[in-house]
Amino acid sequence: MRAFAGFLIRLVAYALTLGIVSRAAEWLWQWKGLDGSIELQPLHDNGLLTLVIAPVVLALVGFGVFRRVAIFIAAALAAAALTAPFAFAHLAGV
């Protein structure tokens, strides 16, 4: 039962963190005017799908010796999601 409680706490923490980052990235994506680009839409969709699935995967493997690795991956995903709209806007010339 204790392991399940730890899993739920990790799941909620990762889901909140990546969910907030996902909403911020979505707002930046629209603010930069990238939501109308057909070429960039698959990248956007894949990025958001990754942010939706990642909390479950990180919560499953993020205990014991892999805890720090899971936290690092979550931070890397958050940083990538927040900087992606700026990088794609530069790439698209917006």
pLDDT digits (tens, 9 = 90+) for 10-55: 999 999 999 999 999 999 989 988 888 888 889 889 998 999 999 9
The secondary structure element, H or E, covering residue 82 is helix 67-92
Q: What is the pLDDT of residue 9?
A: 92
pTM for the structure as a whole:
0.86
Q: What is the pLDDT of residue 92?
A: 80
Which 8-state DSSP code applies to residue 40?
T
- Mean per-residue pLDDT over the chain, rounded: 90
Q: What is the pLDDT of residue 59?
A: 93
Which 8-state DSSP code applies to residue 30?
H
Q: Which residues of 53-78 are buried (b: 16+ CB within 10 A; e: fewer)?
A: ebbeebbeebeeeeeeebbebbeebb
In angstroms, rounded to a whole number, what is the distance separating the alpha carbons of residues 42 and 69?
A: 28
Q: Which residue has the tokens 């999601």?
A: 81
